[in-house]
Structure 1
């Protein structure tokens, strides 16, 4: 059985950059489940699986279609209970929901401001027009104005990671001795920045930078298959 993962990509179809897709890539690797990647642009998403989704990632696993990275992780633990757990039990699931909300409200908004022009520039022509229109409507400002505000986010980004930095002083992963889905949530955000803007926001000896490097090396180095921007 061939699993298909629909993944957001730019004009270079090998450069998949969505933080949510990366959460799913790492989840599949964690479970040891092979899959084929189907790269798509923003404007191609409505045509996926006969209009089966408005967003990616979307996973086809046999007859099952599952969208949303968190829902996919839950599905994988349910469908493949004999393989390493992504949550380590109900407590891990509730912890992951907190991490998800913190990451999206704090890290994603900052990365959007830092990388928005870089994301725009790596897209194909049709996707650039869509991205500019939709993001300017959503953010209430031009991409250029958002990017200008992003300069301050670069200087402040490290501070946003202090809770994680403190925790990593006593354990190597958010999941403890090994990674769980909460690690992949935060990894997805930093991988998004790495693959689009490549902006340096952490010193090399920062505990968070060292954790991120460990995550890049997980599962045969799957996180390094897309180079830094």
Structure 2
């Protein structure tokens, strides 16, 4: 049975961009499962499966609905144990929790601010209104333009914060080791988020993190490249 996965899009339905939805898409591809991707703009998320969740991704697998990218990965691991593992065991699950917290506290804050205006500009008008209102409230009333204007100044410090990842990738091709695991998809999702929505060059040429990201984009017949980079 084909699994349905609901994922966030802007005005261009062919460019899903949510970092969390990309984690789920990569997880499904990793497991080799058949799935259908359903595009959902911001203002239609409350309508998904009759309000099953406040955010996407959401998957429907037969009569099962699962939300939250990490919970979806755990569900896929337990429901399809005969397929390639997303974690490589309980230790991998625990390590992935750490990677998720690190990504959410280190990568997401910079990307969320730096790409904020680019994301807004790629949404449909009704979603732009929602996005501007919600994001400016999160930033104590600061305009999207004001927040995004700081990205050049903050960029060098952000690159320094990637040193643990950069160093890890000097030993092995993926965060998961010789092959990718869910921990890779957590971080991949963040970089895919800005690749799809912002033309800003977040990683310099020759950076081991960029080389790793390119390897991830090529996984599973290049599913990551199915959404074109922003120009």
Fold-level similarity (TM above 0.5): yes
Gaps of 5+ in 2: none
Alignment-derived partner of residue 74 in structure 1? 74
Alignment-derived partner of residue 47 in structure 1? 47
Q: Please show how residues 99-110 of structure 1 align to structure 2 within 5 Å.
A: 99-110=99-110
Name the SS for the 1:37 alignment partner: strand
Distance 1:97 1:151 in 2: 30
Q: Please show how residues 24-35 of structure 1 align to structure 2 within 5 Å.
A: 24-35=24-35
Question: Residue by residue, what CA displacement relative to the aligned partner does 1:175-214 show, whole Å, maximum 9, x if unpaired?
Answer: 0110000000000001011011032122221111110000
Alignment-derived partner of residue 17 in structure 1? 17
Question: Residue by residue, what CA displacement relative to the aligned partner does 1:63-102 show, whole Å, maximum 9, x if unpaired?
Answer: 1100000000000000000000000011101110011011
Distance 2:112 2:153 in 1: 12
- The count of corresponding residues between Structure 1 and Structure 2 is 229
Name the SS for the 2:150 alignment partner: helix
Distance 1:123 1:29 in 2: 27
Q: Please show how residues 180-199 of structure 1 align to structure 2 within 5 Å.
A: 180-199=181-200
Instruction: Give me the CA root mean square deviation.
Output: 0.9
How much has 1:58 moved relative to structure 2?
Answer: 0.4
Gaps of 5+ in 1: none
Question: Residue by residue, what CA displacement relative to the aligned partner does 1:23-61 show, whole Å, maximum 9, x if unpaired?
Answer: 001000000011111101110011111111110000011
Is 1:151 equivalent to 2:152 in the alignment?
Answer: yes
Distance 2:227 2:49 in 1: 26
Name the SS for the 2:220 alignment partner: helix
Distance 2:18 2:214 in 1: 18
Name the SS for the 2:204 alignment partner: coil
Distance 1:143 1:11 in 2: 18
TM-score with structure 1 setting the length:
0.98
Moved over 2 A (4+): 153-157
